[in-house]
């Protein structure tokens, strides 16, 4: 039997690399739509270049690959980097990658009856509520959030159904090469020097494996709409650091609390959500899938 094709953007990021090592899609032909090629993937991965800033490249590449499913994870994502690009508006790289490319991918998916999964973010909200559900209205406070919210809107308008938006928050994994909060915390503790983490910002950090299992479940069930794949637990970055210290035997005294204002400074702090928290209870019920708390995830980790 011919294996279905799943085309993936952003496969070379922390979440994408974990997707390959988890072997979740061994029964699929995986097409890596890459900007920069990297070696090391399994034999069922086909590497195909695609320029997300070029509409023709997107259309021609997808027509050649002919996927049944597209998992779109690539984005310009660093909050400060995106904000510096705000003045360029629709001519900036952030808009071209996050909005324009997403719209083009959605148009192809619609025309070819292709299921589209889009990885989004809590930054589509403003952080004024304790938690945000799948039905809450978006209201981004930074340019990254503006572009992701606009991309979501265009997917919904174009696709009507046969799509899924998956929002998550603060992905982490032990083998993330310091790209996520876990790797950064471990690196700082290993230096055996005092360091600070914010203690007045709240988040729902999500184990990368759970995000990917949530995505796989969405693909299997073809549940259209918005999904929040997050645990129920709300903690601060400082809390997260303390939990890591307790689990792996680091000296907690090295970690000091600091306010979000003092850590980032006035202007950069304005771009951060005070409550970067998603409520995923509705998605839990829909997908019959529950993300692990930080304590449980850390207990299962081997570093």
List the chain domain ranges. Answer: 5-169+206-228, 171-204+233-277+293-300
Residues 120 and 74 sit within 8 Å (Cβ to Cβ): no
Q: Is it the case that residue 20 has pLDDT exceeding 90?
A: no
Residue that has been written with the tokens 């909060």 in this structure: 181
Distance (Å, rounded) from C-alpha 2 to C-alpha 289? 29
Q: What is the pLDDT of residues 85-141, one digit of tens each?
A: 999 999 999 999 999 999 999 999 999 999 999 999 999 999 999 999 999 999 999
Q: How confident is the model at residue 1 (pLDDT cuts 50, 70, 90)?
A: low
Q: What is the pLDDT, as a whole number, of residue 9? A: 97
Q: What is the pLDDT, as a whole number, of residue 85? A: 97
Instruction: Pull the structure tokens for residue 228.
Output: 């929040």
Phi, psi of 264 (to 5 degrees): -100, -20
User: CA 21, 30, 177: angle at the middle one, nearest 5?
Assistant: 30
Q: Is it the case that residue 39 has pLDDT exceeding 60?
A: no
Q: What is the pLDDT of residues 167-186, one digit of tens each?
A: 999 999 987 666 789 999 99
Distance (Å, rounded) from C-alpha 126 to C-alpha 120? 15
Residues 228 and 206 sit within 8 Å (Cβ to Cβ): no
The residues facing 70 across adjacent strands are 7, 116
Q: DSSP letters along 11-80, please?
A: TTSHHHHHHHHHTTTTTSEEEEEESS--S---TTEEEEE--TT-HHHHHHHHHHH--SEEEE------HH
Nearest CA to 230 among 248, 205, 252?
205
Q: What is the pLDDT, as a whole number, of residue 25? A: 87
The residues facing 255 across adjacent strands are 195
Nearest CA to 235 among 172, 164, 302, 154?
172
User: CA 51, 113, 210: angle at the middle one, nearest 5?
Assistant: 70
Q: What is the pLDDT, as a whole number, of residue 36? A: 75
Q: How confident is the model at residue 193 (pLDDT cuts 50, 70, 90)?
A: very high
The average pLDDT across 243-254 equals 97
The average pLDDT across 272-291 equals 96
Residues 229 and 210 sit within 8 Å (Cβ to Cβ): yes
Q: What is the pLDDT of residues 202-213, one digit of tens each?
A: 999 999 999 999
Residues 184 and 246 sit within 8 Å (Cβ to Cβ): no
Distance (Å, rounded) from C-alpha 151 to C-alpha 123? 12
Whole-prediction pTM value? 0.95
Q: Residue 222 region, left (φ>0) first, then alpha (ψ -120 to 50), else beta? A: left
Q: Within 10 Å of residue 213's Cβ, how many Cβ atoms?
A: 18
Share of the chain above pLDDT 90, in %: 84
Fold classification of 5-169+206-228 is: Rossmann fold (3.40.50)
Fold classification of 171-204+233-277+293-300 is: UDP-galactose 4-epimerase; domain 1 (3.90.25)
Q: How confident is the model at residue 194 (pLDDT cuts 50, 70, 90)?
A: very high
Q: Is it the case that residue 84 has pLDDT exceeding 90?
A: yes
89 vs 58, 83, 222, 246, CA distance in Å? 21, 10, 34, 45
Q: Is it the case that residue 45 has pLDDT exceeding 80?
A: yes
Question: What is the average pLDDT value for the chain, to the nearest integer?
Answer: 94
Q: Is it the case that residue 42 has pLDDT exceeding 80?
A: no
């Amino acid at each position: 039997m011919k294996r279905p094709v799943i085309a993936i953007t952003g496969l070379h990021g922390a979440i994408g690399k974990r997707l390959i090592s988890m072997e979740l899609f061994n029964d699929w032909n995986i097409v890596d739509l890459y900007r920069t090629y990297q070696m090391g993937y399994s034999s069922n991965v086909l590497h195909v270049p695609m320029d997300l800033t070029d509409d023709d490249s997107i259309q021609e590449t997808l027509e050649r690959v002919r996927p049944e499913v597209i998992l779109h994870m690539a984005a310009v994502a660093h909050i400060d980097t995106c904000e510096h690009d705000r003045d360029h508006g629709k001519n900036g790289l952030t808009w071209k990658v996050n909005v324009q490319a997403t719209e083009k991918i959605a148009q192809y998916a619609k025309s070819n009856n292709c299921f589209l999964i889009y990885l989004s973010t809590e930054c589509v909200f403003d952080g004024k509520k304790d938690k945000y559900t799948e039905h809450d209205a978006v209201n981004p406070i930074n340019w990254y959030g503006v572009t992701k919210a606009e991309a979501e809107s265009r997917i919904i308008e174009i696709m009507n159904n046969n799509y899924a938006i998956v929002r998550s928050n603060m992905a982490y994994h032990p083998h993330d090469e310091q790209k996520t909060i876990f790797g950064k915390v471990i690196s700082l503790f290993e230096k055996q020097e005092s360091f600070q983490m914010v203690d007045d910002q709240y988040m729902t950090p999500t184990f990368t494996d759970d995000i990917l299992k949530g995505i796989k479940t969405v693909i299997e069930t073809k549940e259209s709409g918005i999904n929040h794949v997050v645990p129920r637990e709300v903690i601060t970055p400082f809390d997260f650091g303390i939990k890591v210290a307790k689990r792996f035997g680091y000296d907690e005294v090295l970690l000091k609390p600091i306010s979000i204002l003092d850590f980032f400074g006035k202007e950069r702090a304005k771009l951060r959500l005070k409550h970067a928290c998603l409520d995923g209870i509705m998605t839990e019920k829909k997908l019959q899938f529950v993300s692990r708390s930080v304590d449980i995830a850390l207990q299962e980790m081997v570093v």
